[in-house]
Amino acid sequence: MVMERYVDGFVLPVPDDKLDTYREMAQAAGELWVEHGALEYFEGVGDDMDPDMGPMSVRQFPRVAQTDGDESVVFSFIVFKSRDHRDTVNEKVMADTEKDPEAAAKEMPFEMERMAYGGFRSIVSLDADE
């Protein structure tokens, strides 16, 4: 049995010509979140964005993220023990980033207002190792 977990999830469009910059930023961010206690940090870029779902009709991620022809969908998540654990870790991350004015001044390689974000409590959590 896997313990109940909490996940922060993100979907955002990133310009293709800024994917390398985004990856570098995400690598540093992931290291920071894990350093402060996150259980897992994941960033993925869209690969199969037009999957064959047979007769099922689904909304595809590029439509959700409202990408245009020169943007990719990035799907990200951070796993925590619980919502309280998430709040504690995020508080530490924010305090840490406030100490680095250079990092705060860096331009984001995507439009923040187009990012979708939310926190999710688990209702099913399975682990292949168990």
Alpha helix (H) residue ranges in the chain: 19-35, 61-65, 83-98, 101-105
Q: Is residue 127 part of a domain?
A: no
Q: Which domain holds residue 24?
A: 1-7+16-36+82-116
Is residue 101 scored above 70 in pLDDT?
A: no
Q: What is the pLDDT of residues 4-41, one digit of tens each?
A: 899 999 999 999 999 999 999 999 999 999 999 999 99
Q: How far apart are CA 4 and CA 126, in angstroms?
A: 10
Q: Is residue 54 part of a domain?
A: no
Q: Amino acid identity of 76?
A: S
Q: Is residue 128 part of a domain?
A: no
pTM across the whole model:
0.89
Sheet holding 40-45, edge to edge: 40-45, 71-80, 6-15, 116-121
Q: Is residue 95 part of a domain?
A: yes
Q: Is residue 59 part of a domain?
A: no
Q: Is residue 71 part of a domain?
A: no
How many structural domains is the chain composed of?
1
Highest mean pLDDT among 1-5, 34-38, 109-113, 123-127: 34-38
Q: Is residue 86 part of a domain?
A: yes
